[in-house]
Copies of this chain bind each other. A is one copy, B any other.
Amino acid sequence: MAADLIRERAAALDAGDPLADLRDAFVVDDDGPLYVDGNSLGRLPHATAERIKGLVDEWGARLVTAWPDWIEAPSRIGDQLAEHVLGARPGEVLACDSVTVNLYKLAGAVLDAEPGPLVALADDFPTDRYVLEGLAAQQGVELRLVRREELREASRDARLTAVSKIDYRSGEIVSEDEVEGLVLWDLSHAAGAIEIDLADAQLAVGCTYKYLNGGPGAPAFLYVREDLQTRLTSPIQGWFGQREQFEMGPRYEPAPGIDRFLAGTPPILSLVAVQSGVELTAEATMAAIAEKTRRLTDLFVELHDAWLAPLGFTLASPRDAATRGGHVSLAHPHGWQVCRALVERANVVPDFRRPDLVRFGFPALYTRFEDVFEAARRTKQLVELGAHREMDAAPARVT
């Protein structure tokens, strides 16, 4: 395909993009790197910088007297996530802790209520597998690590199956039909990228620092369907999950609703930073974001086929946009070197996942079709020139 024609098409798509203006809501240096790693860490919304400054000023001026406002942040932001991102109801979501700790709380609560075997995908994101591995050892239950095609049958007999909604490497969506029984969904790569409807789901956790632009290490979220809340108790019995927290009573008595899954004092600076990103998502609507995500990734897949496949790349993500999240992974025999060369020689920032995947993320809120074109064009040019051959092989420790 002639690059000029594609570039024109990309420009036309940008001109017709109903979300195009939202890019201006983010800090973007147009002379800076071409950033295609928003699936790892989202961009900074201008409103977030303002909000954080306001919060810091509030700390300085109001000190402890501001706590009655701050203390509502986990459920306030949780409700916003529920309504605008997750298809859940008010009182079913909290913003708190990390994905890891939230996985532990929910899976631990399920096992405390009734022990039984756990199931996870053998190639799921590490923290999901590690958390379950630890819980299984503590509780003396089996953890079955299975392949995707074994998931449905294995989940049928499990006490709990934990599975990522979108695979962190391939970007492939796992559908509800692939898993049965009680399921704990990890929505880390899904929240803010695809439309989610938790109405029929029981348990979920997820991340806010990727497509939701909450900031580095921003607090995660957890979801417990309302009718399950009183049947589960967090294994981490903290004072923020206590029914009458400031009674400071003699025994732990879990709060009646979702608050029982809070643990300790929430990190307010990082927590309020989440809010502006969620509000931008709400403004765009998840329907529009998901539609644009499909079109952005479709364009990249098309350019892969035309330009990159002949250079040794293989599409490691679904070809069908309906089963794909917000990133596209390309395998290459020298994937690590390609990724390094993109950063160091082509001013493109994707990321790398072992063994040989270069991940290109295209968050719809601020990614232009032109960026997709540029990412593919620069990758093509770089590999044609052999610039990746000058890079060192992958070190033992890849960050």
Contacts and interface: CB of A to CB of B under 8 A. Distances in A.
Given A104-B236, A247-B354, A63 B49 contact: no
A231 interface: no
A302 interface: no
Interface string A204-235: 00010100000111111000000000000011
Contacts of A43: 60, 63
A359 to B, nearest CB: 11
Nearest to A68: B399
A217 B252 contact: no
A264 B127 contact: yes
A127 B239 contact: yes
Given A63-B41, A67-B399, A267-B270, A251 B133 contact: yes
A355 B248 CA distance: 10
Given A269-B273, A271-B217, A264 B349 contact: no
A236 B100 contact: yes
Contacts of A273: 269
Contact of A41 (B67, B129, B245, B264): B67
B265 A99 contact: yes
Contacts of A37: 63-64
Contacts of A219: 267
A310 interface: no
A172 interface: no
Interface of A: 27, 29, 32-33, 35, 37, 40-41, 43-44, 48-49, 52-53, 56-57, 59-61, 63-68, 70-71, 97-101, 104, 112, 122, 125-127, 129-131, 133-134, 138, 145, 207, 209, 215-220, 234-240, 242, 244-252, 263-271, 273, 343, 349, 351, 353-354, 396-399
Closest 9 CB pairs between A and B? A98-B264, A100-B264, A100-B238, A134-B237, A267-B270, A27-B60, A44-B60, A216-B268, A127-B239
